[in-house]
Amino acid sequence: MAGISKVYVAQLLGLPVFGPDGESIGKIRDLVAGLRVDGQPPRVLGIVVELATRRRIFVPMLRVNAIDPNAITLATGSVNMRHFTQRPTEVLVVGQLLDARVEVIATGAQAVVVDTAMEPTRTRDWVLGRIAIRERTGRLARRGPIQVLSWSEIRAPGITELTEQPQAAHRLLAVFDTMRAADVATAVQDLPMKRRYEVADALDDERLADVIQELPEDTQKQLLKHLDEERAADVLEAMDPDDAADLLAELSEPDKNRFLELMEPEESAPVRRLLAYSFDTAGGLMTPEPIVLAPDAPIAEALARVRNPDITPALASMVFVSRPPSATPTGRYLGCVHIQRLLREPPSDLVAGAVDKELTSLRPTDSLVEVTRYFATYNLVCAPVVDAEEHLLGAVTVDDVLDHLLPDGWRERDRSEDADA
C-alpha cells in the first residue's frame, strides 16, 4: 500500500476481500474509525468484512496488505472470525459518518457528509484526512456542488456525540493517541481504577496490547480480569508472544489454560512454546518472531524487512538465516547478518554471502546471568537462541534482559521518584 496516497471510502464498499493466498474471505461493508476531540482526523482502525455466511468480522488495518481498485488483499496471519462488535469511541464510517450533518468553519454553512477519504501516515496508520461535503441551502439542500475539505475545516458536534464514552475518558483517549505506549502506561497507572477500566474498554485491541505490555504485572492482571474472556484472548493475541507468555505465567493454571484455549491456535502456539521455559532463561526471554530469511534471499529483501516500523530497533539490528521453514522453530540455522553489513552490501547480492557464521548462539536453557554475559561480551542488542538440533527458536533482545535485571516493581519506583523530584 506504499504507493496509495488517498482512498475514498465509497469506492471500497462491496469490494471482495482476499487472503494472502488468493482465497476469498468476503466483502467489505464498512470501515471503523476512532473519533478524537483534539481536532485531529479520526484514525481508521480497520474494516468490517461480511463473510459468505452473512457474519460480519473486524479486520485491523495492519492486516490489510494491499488496496486495489477491484479488491483488498490481507497480509499473512490468522483472521479473527468472531462477530464484530462496535466499541465506545468507535464510529462506523459508512453507517454513521456518511450523511451526518456538519458545519463549515470558515462560512458557518450547514452541510452533509457525502464521502470521506482515508490517507496513510508516516507511521503506517490511516486517517480520515479529507471529507467531501455538500452544503444544505434551503430547497436546494444536498444539491449544491461537492466540496472536499480537510477535517480541521469542519465542525462536527453531531459526529463526536456518536460515542458513548464519558467525556473525561474521551479526552484522555485523544491525548493518549499521540503518546508512546510506555508513556500511556505511566499515565494509566495514575488514574483511578474506574477510569482505567473505561480507557481499556475504549482502546482498540492492538493499542491496548501495546499499553498492557508496558504495565506492571499487578496492573496487567487487573485489566485482563476486567475484560470479558473473549476480548482478553484477543488482546493476548495482539501482544508480543514473549510478553503474553510472561503475563499468562502469572495467572493460575486454570485461567492460563482457559485463555490459551480461547486464543487462535496459530497465535497460542508460540506462547505455549515459551511457557515451557523458565522466565529467567534465554528460552523464557526470547521472542519467537525474529526476522528469518532463506540463504537465497536478496539483501534488498532483508533491508525491506528491517525497515518495518512494527519491528523494534533491537530486533531489526539482526537478520537470521536458516534453511526452510523460516517460521520458528526453523530449519537448520546458518548464521546471522548484522544490519551494518546489510547496508554495506549490494542489494542484489544474496544474504548467504554476508552471514556471520562465527558468532556463537544462546541455548534456550541458558540462565539470565549467562545471557547478560553474552550481551556484554559481544556488544549486541539482539542474540539468536538455537536448540541442540541447530533449529533457530527465537531471539533475545536487550530490552527484555534489562526488564528482568531491574528489581521487581521498577516501573512503580520510577513513578514515585519522578513525583518526589
| Fold entry, domain 292-405 | CBS-domain (3.10.580)
Provide mean pLDDT across the span 142-150: 78
Amino acid at 81: M
Which residues, in sequence order, are CB contacts of 52 under 8 Å at separation 6+? 24, 26
Range(s) within the chain of domains with CATH label 2.30.30.240: 7-93
Q: What would the grid cell of residue 347 be?
A: 542489494
Reduce the DSSP state of residue 50 to 3 states and report it.
Answer: strand
pLDDT of residue 53: 87
Q: Is the pLDDT at 106 greater than 80, yes or no?
A: yes
Provide mean pLDDT across the span 402-410: 76
In this prediction the pTM is: 0.61
d(CA 385, CA 363): 5
Q: Is the pLDDT at 415 greater than 70, yes or no?
A: no
Range(s) within the chain of domains with CATH label 3.10.580.10: 292-405
Q: What would the grid cell of residue 208 be?
A: 491496548
> Among 111, 12, 22, which Cα is nearest to 70's?
12
> Among 142, 202, 151, 213, which Cα is nearest to 176's?
202
In this prediction, residue 154 has a pLDDT band, given cuts at 50, 70 and 90, of: confident
In this prediction, residue 161 has a pLDDT band, given cuts at 50, 70 and 90, of: low
Range(s) within the chain of domains with CATH label 1.25.60.10: 167-276
State pLDDT tens for residues 195-205. Answer: 889 889 988 89
- Average pLDDT of the chain to the nearest whole number: 86
Q: What would the grid cell of residue 322 be?
A: 536458516
Which residue shows C-alpha cell 542484489?
348
Question: How would CATH label the architecture of 167-276?
Answer: Alpha Horseshoe (1.25)
State pLDDT tens for residues 60-85. Answer: 998 898 898 889 999 877 778 888 88
Least confident of 15-19, 104-108, 297-301: 104-108
Q: Is the pLDDT at 287 greater than 90, yes or no?
A: yes
* Beta pairing class for 64-67 and 72-74: antiparallel
Provide mean pLDDT across the span 22-50: 86
Least confident of 106-120, 127-141, 230-244: 127-141
Question: How would CATH label the architecture of 7-93?
Answer: Roll (2.30)
Provide mean pLDDT across the span 157-186: 64
Supply the angle between the helices 229-238 and 241-249 in degrees, to the nearest 10: 140
Question: How would CATH label the architecture of 95-160?
Answer: Roll (2.30)
Longest alpha-carbon distance in the chain: 80
Provide mean pLDDT across the span 115-128: 86
In this prediction, residue 46 has a pLDDT band, given cuts at 50, 70 and 90, of: very high
How many residues does this entry show for the chain?
421
Provide mean pLDDT across the span 297-309: 93
Provide mean pLDDT across the span 318-337: 96
